[in-house]
């Protein structure tokens, strides 16, 4: 069945040739592979594909400081030795090298996320995908963790022009510190990050106790996890927390950062998620039927990144992808199995049940402090949303989910649907 959602997918052929330097784990070439895989599965037939505009420096300066943007604009590999002070100041160098076309690369991925947000705002699509984006570590005035420009913050700021509240969800193995920091003091954005925490794991923030401050108090949620978390515990935790969050916060739009370094076998990550588990989170978020901006993020085993994001593109298009990867230019990268499935991780799962439930209770308790959506709520027509009413103790989530999916399909058939009222149908669902 064809998806009712209108999907906009952003890709610029230029990102594939960006190179951070030898041995740098971040390989934009993975975007090329992802796109290739998406196309080889013929997914492009079901969506619109856009080439993003290159974000202007002034657009980047909506969040970043003008001096930082300007410096990124000017610096080149050949001139960098003249600016050692600035390089240090902006944290450029080791993790965040200066490479050729650095600024153009930033413009492309940031432009993609901004365009995606704008298309959502103008109701030109229901879901927008920019796998090139999701660089969640970048700070206002400095680069961090392979991230130069924080396209997520820019995208969220764009969404905030049309929505009173935006929910940001981050399933990268690393803490989404840049986004959290940008919105730590506001209740207009709730950030929820699931990440590895402890053992000096980068970036070192993301304790469950970091919950936001001032107006933003209780509007930052951190779910710190330990090594080796597997599909079942991760998705269960994810679903219960996210459904509660959406129920409580009632966001107008959701931004989902799908960092693929939380997959098993990642070069830098340490989780045991399979692609199915990772994609299950995407599927779950999609079910809320809210304007959804999906970005990439980390992911340092590039064929797995390509696999994962192709599968998730399929999920967003309601298309199940067969396991055998179709012929394409890069098929060799997917050998020797040439399949979508990735080997199971064998990192020991250090997340005990009691640990996870402690974290969950902590998060829930903080959420309870909100109860009401914030003051801005009152000024907006309450958006309709779809709460899957997830209750792990009651029933098998999968079964329940199927039922819901079914209901949705039934409704969908006879439903005439206009862009302006894309959520109306849910009135009956709730």
Partner 1 sequence: MAGWPMLADDGSALDCAKSPHKKLKPEPASKGSDKASEALVEGEGVLDKLRFESEEFLLGFGEEICAQEPFRPLPPMLGDGQRLDLLKLFLVVRQKGGYHAVSENGLWNSVAKESGLLSSNLASPVKLVYVKYLNILERWLKRVVENEGSECGLSNSGVDFVGCLMELQAELKALLAKVPDQKMKDEEYPHLELATEEVESDGGQKSFGDEGLSGVDSVDKIYDTIKLCNENEGEMTALDGDVNGVVCDEKKACLDSSEGSNGGKLHEYDEVKSAAVELDGGKNCDDEDVVILDPADIEDRFYGKRKRESLCGMQNWVTGVAVNPCDPAVGSLPEWSKWKSYGKGEMWKQVLLAREAIFLKRQVDSSAEQWQKTQKMHPCMYDDQLGSSYNLRERLRCGKNLLDEKMMSQAGACSESSSATQGDLDKIPFAGGMKDEAINQLLGTADSSTADSVLDKYPPSRIPWGPRFEAEVPEWTGVASESDPKWLGTRVWPLENVERRSLIERDPIGKGRQDSCGCEVRGSIECARFHIAEKRLRVKLELGRAFYQWKFDKMGEEVRVSWTEEEEKKFKAILLSNPQSLQKCFWDQIFKFSPTKSSADLVSYYFNVFLLQRRGCQNRLTPNNIDSDDDESGSGLVTNGIGHEADKSPSSIFYSPKKPHTNFR
Active-site residue numbers? Answer: 137
Locate 188 and state its tokens. Answer: 């207009």
**CB neighbour class for 297 (10 Å; exposed up to 12, middle 13-18, buried from 19):** buried
Pick the binder of partner 1 from 105, 109, 148, 184 (CB under 8 A).
184
Q: Is 322 in the site for partner 1 (CB under 8 A)?
A: yes
| Nearest distance from C-beta of residue 408 to partner 1, angstroms | 20
Place of tokens 């080791």: 94
Closest CB to partner 1 among 13 and 419? 13
CB contact set of 77 (below 8 Å; sequence gap of 6+): 98, 99, 100
Place of tokens 């996320």: 113
Q: Is 278 in the site for partner 1 (CB under 8 A)?
A: no
Cα 269 to Cα 297: distance, rounded to the nearest angstrom: 12
Residue 336 in contact with residue 50, Cβ under 8 Å? no
Q: Is 399 in the site for partner 1 (CB under 8 A)?
A: no
Q: Is 408 in the site for partner 1 (CB under 8 A)?
A: no
Q: Is 107 in the site for partner 1 (CB under 8 A)?
A: no
Binding to partner 1, residues 111-150 (CB under 8 A): 111-112, 114-116, 118-119, 121-122, 124, 139-141, 145
Residue of 272, 282, 281, 342 whose CA lies nearest to 307: 342
Closest CB to partner 1 among 71 and 414? 71
Q: Is 362 in the site for partner 1 (CB under 8 A)?
A: yes
**Stretch in the footprint of partner 1 (CB under 8 A) among 179-187, 230-238, 289-297, 347-355:** 179-187
Closest CB to partner 1 among 145 and 397? 145
Spell out, one character per residue from 207 to 226, where the chain touches partner 1: x when CB under 8 A holds, - when not. -xxxx-xxx-xx--------
| Nearest distance from C-beta of residue 233 to partner 1, angstroms | 21
Binding to partner 1, residues 229-268 (CB under 8 A): 247-248, 250, 265, 267-268
Binding to partner 1, residues 8-47 (CB under 8 A): 8, 10-11, 13-14, 16-17, 19-25, 27, 29, 32, 35-36, 39-47
| Nearest distance from C-beta of residue 287 to partner 1, angstroms | 19
Return the sign of the alpha-carbon dihedral for residues 53, 136, 140, 91.
negative
- Residue 254 DSSP SS3: strand
Q: Is 338 in the site for partner 1 (CB under 8 A)?
A: yes
Q: Is 276 in the site for partner 1 (CB under 8 A)?
A: no
What is the radius of gyration, based on Cα positions, of the chain?
A: 20
Locate 422 and state its tokens. Answer: 């894309």
Max intra-chain CA distance, the chain: 65
| Nearest distance from C-beta of residue 382 to partner 1, angstroms | 7
Closest CB to partner 1 among 232 and 418? 418
Cα 348 to Cα 374: distance, rounded to the nearest angstrom: 41
Residue of 158, 94, 136, 177 whose CA lies nearest to 297: 136
Binding to partner 1, residues 288-317 (CB under 8 A): 300-304, 314
Phi, psi of 4 (to 5 degrees): -80, -25
Cα 297 to Cα 136: distance, rounded to the nearest angstrom: 7
Which DSSP symbol is given to 301? S
| Nearest distance from C-beta of residue 187 to partner 1, angstroms | 7
| Nearest distance from C-beta of residue 55 to partner 1, angstroms | 8
| Nearest distance from C-beta of residue 396 to partner 1, angstroms | 25
Q: Is 380 in the site for partner 1 (CB under 8 A)?
A: yes
| Nearest distance from C-beta of residue 18 to partner 1, angstroms | 8
Q: Is 198 in the site for partner 1 (CB under 8 A)?
A: no
DSSP assignments along 77-135, one per residue: TTTGGGGHHHHHHTT-SSSS---TTHHHHHHHHHHHHHHHHHHHHTTS-SEEEETT---
Closest CB to partner 1 among 56 and 406? 56
**Stretch in the footprint of partner 1 (CB under 8 A) among 318-326, 348-356, 407-415, 418-426:** 318-326
Q: Is 390 in the site for partner 1 (CB under 8 A)?
A: no
Q: Is 336 in the site for partner 1 (CB under 8 A)?
A: yes
**CB neighbour class for 25 (10 Å; exposed up to 12, middle 13-18, buried from 19):** middle
Return the sign of the alpha-carbon dihedral for residues 20, 22, 26, 27.
positive
How many other C-beta atoms lie within 10 A of the C-beta of residue 400?
16
Cα 111 to Cα 15: distance, rounded to the nearest angstrom: 12
Pick the binder of partner 1 from 34, 186, 191, 289 (CB under 8 A).
186
Pick the binder of partner 1 from 4, 6, 51, 400 (CB under 8 A).
51
Residue 194 in contact with residue 225, Cβ under 8 Å? yes
Pick the binder of partner 1 from 1, 85, 353, 379 (CB under 8 A).
379
């Amino acid at each position: 069945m064809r998806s009712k959602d209108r999907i906009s997918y952003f890709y610029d052929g230029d990102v594939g040739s960006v190179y951070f330097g030898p041995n740098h784990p971040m390989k934009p070439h993975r975007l090329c592979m992802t796109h290739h895989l998406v196309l080889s599965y013929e997914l492009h037939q079901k969506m619109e594909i856009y080439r993003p505009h290159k974000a202007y420096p002034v657009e980047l300066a909506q969040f970043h400081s003008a001096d930082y943007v300007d410096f990124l604009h000017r610096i080149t590999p050949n001139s960098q030795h003249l600016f050692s002070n600035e390089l240090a100041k902006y944290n450029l160098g080791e993790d965040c090298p200066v490479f050729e076309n650095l600024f153009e690369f930033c413009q492309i991925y940031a432009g993609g996320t901004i365009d995606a947000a704008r298309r959502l705002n103008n109701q030109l699509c229901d879901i927008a995908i920019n796998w090139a984006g999701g660089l969640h570590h970048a700070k206002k005035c400095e680069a961090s963790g392979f991230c130069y420009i924080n396209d997520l913050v820019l995208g969220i700021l764009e969404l905030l022009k049309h929505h009173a509240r935006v929910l940001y969800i981050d399933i990268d193995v690393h803490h989404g510190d840049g986004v959290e920091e940008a919105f730590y003091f506001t209740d207009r954005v709730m950030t929820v990050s699931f990440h590895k925490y402890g053992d000096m794991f980068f970036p070192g923030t993301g304790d469950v106790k970091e919950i936001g401050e001032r107006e933003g108090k209780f509007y930052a949620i951190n779910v710190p996890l330990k090594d080796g978390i597997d599909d079942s515990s991760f998705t269960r935790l994810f679903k219960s927390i996210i459904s509660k969050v959406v129920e409580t916060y009632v966001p107008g739009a959701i931004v989902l950062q799908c960092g693929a370094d939380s997959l098993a076998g990642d070069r830098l990550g340490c989780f045991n998620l399979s692609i199915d588990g990772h994609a299950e989170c995407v599927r779950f978020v999609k079910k809320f039927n809210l304007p959804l901006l999906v970005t990439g993020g980390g992911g340092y085993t590039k064929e797995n990144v390509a696999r994962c994001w192709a599968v998730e593109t399929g999920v967003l298009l309601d298309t199940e992808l067969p396991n055998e990867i179709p012929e394409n230019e890069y098929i060799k990268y997917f050998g020797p199995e040439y399949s979508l499935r990735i080997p199971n991780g064998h990192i020991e799962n250090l997340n005990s049940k009691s640990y996870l439930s402690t974290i969950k209770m902590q998060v829930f308790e903080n959420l309870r402090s909100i109860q009401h959506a914030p003051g801005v709520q009152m000024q907006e027509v309450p958006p309709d949303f779809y709460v899957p009413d997830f209750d792990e103790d009651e029933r098998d989530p999968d079964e329940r989910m199927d039922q819901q999916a079914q209901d949705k399909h039934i409704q969908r058939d006879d439903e005439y649907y206009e862009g302006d009222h894309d959520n109306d149908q849910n009135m009956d669902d709730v």
